[in-house]
């Protein structure tokens, strides 16, 4: 969160994002190293999300982890495919996924 907040301030102050400023002021080898680390971090978070969804499918429906992971991937690509039809449909889907479980909670 600290890096995101500082990146936002940098963008407001300079009009450039963090990657652009790093590329302008750091050597190419350092920029490539930062890019590699960023890509690895993004992949690690994606793996955690897919694994979490697969575990959720296993707990809810008793589906084994590998098929549940494949189902998660298919659903993810389907949701991302909705962007071709406009961003509004994707927003409604996400709002529904957030709102339905909240309305089902029994106090």
Q: Residue 14: inside a domain, yes or no?
A: no
Task: Tell me the C-alpha to C-alpha distance, in Å, between residue 40 and each of 33, 48, 78.
Answer: 11, 12, 24
Structural domains counted in the chain: 1
Q: Residue 15: inside a domain, yes or no?
A: no
Torsion of CA 93, 77, 72, 92, to 10 degrees: 0
Q: Residue 80: inside a domain, yes or no?
A: yes
65-82: b (≥16 Cβ within 10 Å) or e: eeebbeebeeeeeeeeeb
Q: Say if residue 107's pLDDT is above 60.
A: no
Q: What is the pLDDT of residue 103?
A: 63
Over residues 58-77, mean pLDDT = 92
Q: Residue 56: inside a domain, yes or no?
A: yes
The residue with greater pLDDT, 59 or 97, is 59
10-41: b (≥16 Cβ within 10 Å) or e: eeeeeeeebeeeeeeeeeeeeeeeeeeeeeee
Structural domain harbouring 90: 27-104
Cβ distance 54 to 72 under 8 Å?
yes
Tens of pLDDT along 23-45? 999 999 999 999 999 899 888 88
Q: Residue 75: inside a domain, yes or no?
A: yes
Q: Residue 51: inside a domain, yes or no?
A: yes
Which of helix, strand or coil describes residue 64? coil
Cβ distance 8 to 21 under 8 Å?
no
């Amino acid at each position: 969160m600290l890096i995101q907040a500082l990146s936002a301030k940098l963008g407001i102050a300079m009009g450039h994002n963090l990657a652009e400023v790093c590329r302008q002021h750091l050597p190419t080898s350092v920029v490539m190293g930062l890019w590699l680390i960023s890509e690895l971090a993004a992949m690690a978070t994606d793996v955690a999300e897919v694994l979490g969804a697969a575990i959720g499918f296993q707990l809810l429906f008793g589906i084994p982890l590998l098929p549940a992971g494949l189902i998660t991937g298919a659903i993810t690509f389907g949701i991302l495919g909705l962007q071709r039809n406009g961003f509004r449909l994707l927003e409604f889907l996400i709002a529904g996924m957030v709102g339905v479980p909240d309305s089902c909670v029994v106090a």
